[in-house]
Amino acid sequence: MNILESYDSYSGRLVTGEETVEGRVGAYLSIISARKNLNAFLSVFNEESLERARGIDRKIKNGSAGSLAGMVIAVKDVLCMKGKITTCGSKILEKYESIYDATVIKKLYDADAVFIGKTNMDEFAMGSSGENSAYGATKHPIDETRVPGGSSSGSCVAVATGMATASLGTDTGGSIRQPAGLCGIVGLKPTYGRVSRYGLVAFASSFDQIGPFARTVRDAARVLQVIAGRDVNDSTSAHVDVPDYVSGMKRSVKGMRIGLPKEYFSDALNSEIRAVLQKKIDTLKSAGAEIVEISLPNSEHTISAYYILATAEASSNLARYDGARYGYRSPQSKDLQSMYVRSRSEGFGEEVKRRIMLGTYVLSSGYYDAYYRKAQQVRRLIQNDFTEAFKHVDCLVTPISPTSAFKLGEKMDDPLQMYLNDIYTVSANLAGIPGMSIPAGTDKDGLPIGIQLLGKQFDEATILNVGDFLETVN
Ligand code: GLN
């Protein structure tokens, strides 16, 4: 069995009986235990996933199986699954058991996917390296002295190594696309509002989106197909029809207009990354796409705007962890005040505390106008830049990350360096547009380099089509 095969290529063999879901789950479980040192999972559903696989095998046999029958999925530990622990990578939720299923979980379950476990992540999805987890850092699958990217570190590593067919991550400022780029797989952040956030533990509610990691664009499209759509439990999920993504993949880019934002290809861009991207751009050109240089003039403000707005929202969302209702309560507390202070001080990690303080500061009266309101205005300007660009082009091509996978510990003492790593990804979240990372090549050390495709709001179909084309024309 090829453990790294895509769902699209093995699912046919499940139907003919040459392979079983149980066999595949068993193979993934053995990789999970063989590569435990990567620290990709926080909980593994050993018996339960095998049991479920046997049930799906029976459904496949009698012809009643759903559209993702036998796809094996790992879930970022920020999504609620009824009866399961949801830690969010934090000590404060170490024992928190979810009392309901997230909408995405319910939908995938109904499509007959199998869940294999919950994955490691930066605490409350705050980070770009996977090192901020209270349960230890996740390691890069090719070089264990390096980071796999974050915050959806475990979900990415699970798919890159053959511990699952696909996985769910969340992307508030790049947390699906950046690790996908660093580990050489596909990661898709849908349009804000495309996928219901019901049952996703909130970090920054106006940015967060759930999306898939997969080994092929087609597999990512299949997952999106199932999880997309309006949900009455999330008022920000959009009333927008969901097209048939796979049949929309024409394997052609002829006549398309593809934009290159000049601010993303400045002299500061690493030369190896530039060379890898240029090859892909040449491929698109020779297949009949028109490559157009465009400008996103407010690009230089994206990091500042993101880290003001996302921390502001986080400081408010994380106020609920107070030791009273659920989660960790300090045994040291003597009265109400000390219970709040001690539970939060002992329960949250350094980066989360830094964000709560930053967010509280930018929202405080006296600073609100100078920081929060200003950043909201800048967000609008960034959105306008994209609206203007998409009048002239169908999608954009950009780098995904300023470097390939960096060393563990390299940026941990310098938060600003860590934040700057998100320079190419946060704009999609500020603008609410869809973005996808696909493998583009490797650097001189054999580490993966990704390429990012950005689309118009609710036009995942176009970037999926271009991504599928690039993946199949090598
Ligand atoms: N790296 C970014 C941050 O730390 C994005 C995180 C995310 O997308 N969840 O905020």
Q: Which domain holds residue 54?
A: 7-227
**Interval 111-135 mean pLDDT:** 98
Grade residue 12 by pLDDT with cuts at 50, 70 and 90. Answer: very high
Single-letter residue type at 180: A
Please state the pTM of the whole predicted model: 0.98
Residues 185-209: b if buried by 16+ CB within 10 A, e if exposed: bbbbbbbbbbbbbbbbbbbbebbbb
151 is catalytic: yes
Task: Say yes or no to pLDDT of 474 above 80.
Answer: no
User: Ligand 1 within 6 A of 210 CB?
Assistant: no
Ligand 1: atom nearest CA of 128 is 1
Q: How far is CA 50 from the centre of its chain?
A: 26
User: Rounded to whole angstroms, how far apart are CA atoms 401 and 61?
Assistant: 44
- Residue (of 428, 432, 423) closest to 453 by Cα position: 428
Cis before 151 (ω within 30): yes
**Interval 31-40 mean pLDDT:** 98
| Contact indicator for 340, 323 with CB cutoff of 8 Å | yes
186 falls within a domain: yes
261 falls within a domain: no
pLDDT tens-digit series, residues 267-278: 889 999 999 999
CB atoms within 10 A of CB 145: 11
Indicate the pairing of strand 41-44 with strand 114-119. Answer: antiparallel
What is the structure's pLDDT at 413? Answer: 93
Task: Say yes or no to pLDDT of 325 above 90.
Answer: no
341 falls within a domain: no
448 falls within a domain: no
Decide: helix, strand or coil at residue 22: helix
- Residue (of 209, 214, 206) closest to 195 by Cα position: 209
Would you state the torsion angle of the CA atoms of residues 60, 46, 187, 463, taken in this order, to the nearest 10 degrees?
Answer: 10
411 is catalytic: no
404 is catalytic: no
Q: What's the half-sphere exposure (Cβ side, CA atoms, 13 Å) at 150?
A: 32
User: Ligand 1 within 6 A of 151 CB?
Assistant: yes
What is the structure's pLDDT at 268? Answer: 87
C-alpha 128 – ligand 1 centre gap (Å): 6
User: Ligand 1 within 6 A of 175 CB?
Assistant: yes
User: Ligand 1 within 6 A of 127 CB?
Assistant: yes
409 falls within a domain: no
Q: How many residues does the chain have?
A: 474
Closest-CA residue, ligand 1 atom 4, reads 127
454 falls within a domain: no
Pocket test for ligand 1, best of 123, 175, 207, 208 (most atoms within 8 A of CB): 175
**Interval 322-350 mean pLDDT:** 95
| Domain count along the chain | 1
Domain at 60, CATH number: 3.90.1300.10
What is the structure's pLDDT at 419? Answer: 95
**Interval 246-252 mean pLDDT:** 93
User: Rounded to whole angstroms, how far apart are CA atoms 158 and 161?
Assistant: 6
Task: Say yes or no to pLDDT of 438 above 70.
Answer: yes
User: Ligand 1 within 6 A of 128 CB?
Assistant: yes
Give 358-379 as a 3 state SS string: HHHHHHCCCCCHHHHHHHHHHH
**Interval 108-128 mean pLDDT:** 98
What is the structure's pLDDT at 473? Answer: 85
Task: Say yes or no to pLDDT of 216 above 90.
Answer: yes
Pocket test for ligand 1, best of 120, 122, 189 (most atoms within 8 A of CB): 122
User: Ligand 1 within 6 A of 174 CB?
Assistant: yes
User: Ligand 1 within 6 A of 126 CB?
Assistant: yes
pLDDT tens-digit series, residues 156-199: 999 999 999 999 999 999 999 999 999 999 999 999 999 999 99
Task: Say yes or no to pLDDT of 296 above 70.
Answer: yes
pLDDT tens-digit series, residues 395-409: 999 999 999 999 999
164 falls within a domain: yes
Catalytic residue among 49, 151, 237, 404: 151
Tokens (6 digits) for 415? 């938060």
Task: Say yes or no to pLDDT of 82 above 90.
Answer: yes
| Contact indicator for 149, 156 with CB cutoff of 8 Å | yes
132 falls within a domain: yes
Indicate the pairing of strand 257-261 with strand 395-399. Answer: parallel
What is the structure's pLDDT at 350? Answer: 97
Residue 327's region, left for phi above 0, alpha for psi from -120 to 50, else beta, is left
